[in-house]
Structure 1
């Protein structure tokens, strides 16, 4: 609020000195309450329309007069590291975008505020899907999910039908035989189509992490021991998963360097799997993909049909002078009504629809009814548990870097399977034991 002009101040003082005993003056005009400013740092998680984040923050700021949010959008390449370093040094934002599962370093250093300290009630927290447990630490929740991701199978209906397949593969054996038939028959016809590609063996190397963790899970494997102290990928399950993946390249069903996503859009790859949010990229292929593809649950492995879990959450810095203000913004941006908007890019609705307002459930159901992909996504969601993501937060950065080198080398045959897994366990194990 601007200060009063000097002339007005002088007049007021003169009037005050002239008051006689018993005289009274009118009360000054009430001062408008100051708004608490909250800084929010995020990466552009709204796939395809990053400007929508700016519009959402503007909508929030216009919705009430107590809290004002200042938005900073960072890039995906460096944003997460920038946020973490700033928070660890005490100079970070008040609220920021985090991966589901959260950063163990921030949790153990008490840098994150538990949701109940931000104004969340037990009733608030009870409305989320059980997968919200991925953001739990020592019995308390620290992240409020915006949406979840799970791996699904994406397949070109036109290509499968061309080579005699009317349904997508449902098991590992069917996946391998279907992919081999498409690769072989298409090559014999003069235009080779790769029947299957593991995403991450291509131009998006980081994608090998959820790809590998999905197949490891389906083989019955785990990333760590139950106490999170030992890396457990060099096991029978790990060798089963990697040997299966390697067979696609040994048997020349797949070719390293073939891009799963762009190849799929161009019709050069028949099938691949990744987080369901990649559907937005496929749809952007327009006439190249319209009506030519579909989604299915992941093919079931020797033990299960589970997959990696991902997505994003909001978290707040601990020790805020007004934690309730941060909670007000988080409860708005991650509310059931706003969360339905993230379904536009196939972000999985994080709430139990039986526990949200009727009008919100109507919106969610409309997405399910108008897009057949949601049937596969929800089936896959029901197969998935928090376990992998809770394990993954331990030595996360080391594991994700090590898997990019060791898994790819083991799958493409540069390193024997057992050696690749031993190397991986050694690198991750060193980090797990560094504390």
Structure 2
């Protein structure tokens, strides 16, 4: 009930923010931007993985290139940045432009807080250039988020460890994955574990993307087609959770061992996560250099799909400077800048056939110099917007419920049916509040 109450309060606060700011920004009071520089506020977490200062550098670069727009940048922390944005908007203030997860948040959309891209100077040609996955940012037929980059769950594997234990190729199916992982764990005397599900370790929030990927591969869904009912306690849900649980029941994987740190140290052979974790793996230096690679996710009973993530820019509908906000968004989320985000393995969010040839050349060169991009783009093609559009509904409740229930169901603290039923019960309360 607490989650449901929080959802209602958040929606009410955002609706209140819209009413307040809309009143303050009537057409009679709105200042002209033509006579001088428009100043806008941009709030963001440091989305450039491993280089917290890079976003500020980009904002500085934008400001130096402009004569009519100035951006004031506020860098927030990941632990509470989203909450600070929501609280500021609820108080009738907040930024003109900010960072939001791909898929966006339903309470912002329903409260009318976000400006559609066509009100920010985006043309149909602009939005048609986005990859089809940009549909994750649609609501009632309009796009509200400009994608900076996409993430997809992929499989990372230690080439040296697989070779040491006689495994020639990364596994392509659930059965092959379990067999390969068991071989490594057994032959190493459990000194190396063949597999770890990201999120069954020290990064608990990651269980959400891991779980939703395996649920999808089993043919499951998060909600009904009309988004009104949670559907995880299903045959597909039980298939996925029983499969994951078998790794711990059979001693193949260790609960609590860090997937990322274990992988860097060579004590975990394979794990799944968003491909942008590659930036962290590379930080392993000599421990990982030349000893790892990326593969598409092993296919489950129904498909090889996986969770989609990444980040977009959004703007406040009540901003006094929508034109300036759009100018900044089109620059920061442009093909030119998005090609730079490939440095931390953010997936280029544009159709290569619809961007400037110079940008295409840059992207092609990035792909050519790193064979891991082939696996990443193979995984990208397997995914649709469906899972993330479902996840938008009762998002915060679901992700909190899954962190507790999935871990408990997989490690044996709860029966599988009880764990899935617990998720459905909590999420259905939140879905009811959305109606």
**Is the 1:88–1:106 contact (alpha carbons within 8 Å) kept by the matching residues of 2?**
no
Report the counterpart of residue 403 of structure 1 in structure 2. 402
Q: Which runs of 4+ in 1 moved over 6 A?
A: none
> 1:321 & 1:256 partners in 2: Cα distance?
51
Report the counterpart of residue 252 of structure 1 in structure 2. 251
Alignment of 1:35-114 (within 5 A): 35-114=37-116
Report the counterpart of residue 387 of structure 1 in structure 2. 386
Give the paired residue count. Answer: 401
Query: Following TM superposition, by how much is the alpha carbon of 1:91 offset from its aligned partner in structure 2, in angstroms?
Result: 1.1
Query: Following TM superposition, by how much is the alpha carbon of 1:87 offset from its aligned partner in structure 2, in angstroms?
Result: 1.7
Query: Following TM superposition, by how much is the alpha carbon of 1:88 offset from its aligned partner in structure 2, in angstroms?
Result: 2.9
- Secondary structure at the residue paired with 2:188? helix
Query: Following TM superposition, by how much is the alpha carbon of 1:64 offset from its aligned partner in structure 2, in angstroms?
Result: 1.5
Report the counterpart of residue 420 of structure 1 in structure 2. 419
Query: Following TM superposition, by how much is the alpha carbon of 1:108 offset from its aligned partner in structure 2, in angstroms?
Result: 0.2
Where does the alignment leave 5 or more consecutive residues of structure 1 unmatched? 1-31
Query: Following TM superposition, by how much is the alpha carbon of 1:92 offset from its aligned partner in structure 2, in angstroms?
Result: 1.0
CA RMSD between the two structures: 0.9
- Secondary structure at the residue paired with 2:433? coil
TM-score norm. by structure 1 comes to 0.91
Query: Following TM superposition, by how much is the alpha carbon of 1:366 offset from its aligned partner in structure 2, in angstroms?
Result: 0.6
Report the counterpart of residue 227 of structure 1 in structure 2. 226
Report the counterpart of residue 27 of structure 2 in structure 1. none
> 2:378 & 2:408 partners in 1: Cα distance?
32
**Is the 1:38–1:94 contact (alpha carbons within 8 Å) kept by the matching residues of 2?**
yes
Task: Answer yes or no: is 1:115 the counterpart of 2:138.
Answer: no
Please list the CA deviations of residues 84-129 of structure 1 after superposition, one character each: whole Å capped at 9, or x if unmatched.
Answer: 2212332110000000000100000000000001110101000000
- Secondary structure at the residue paired with 1:211? helix
Query: Following TM superposition, by how much is the alpha carbon of 1:68 offset from its aligned partner in structure 2, in angstroms?
Result: 0.2
**Is the 2:199–2:207 contact (alpha carbons within 8 Å) kept by the matching residues of 1?**
yes
Task: Answer yes or no: is 1:133 the counterpart of 2:146.
Answer: no
> 1:166 & 1:211 partners in 2: Cα distance?
25
Query: Following TM superposition, by how much is the alpha carbon of 1:213 offset from its aligned partner in structure 2, in angstroms?
Result: 0.2
> 2:100 & 2:346 partners in 1: Cα distance?
15
Please list the CA deviations of residues 24-60 of structure 1 after superposition, one character each: whole Å capped at 9, or x if unmatched.
Answer: xxxxxxxx94210010000000011111111111111
> 2:113 & 2:376 partners in 1: Cα distance?
34
Alignment of 1:294-313 (within 5 A): 294-313=293-312
> 2:246 & 2:314 partners in 1: Cα distance?
42
Task: Answer yes or no: is 1:156 the counterpart of 2:158.
Answer: yes
> 1:373 & 1:80 partners in 2: Cα distance?
31
**Is the 1:215–1:241 contact (alpha carbons within 8 Å) kept by the matching residues of 2?**
yes
Query: Which structure's CA Rg is the greater one?
Result: 1
Query: Following TM superposition, by how much is the alpha carbon of 1:322 offset from its aligned partner in structure 2, in angstroms?
Result: 2.3
Task: Answer yes or no: is 1:358 the counterpart of 2:395.
Answer: no
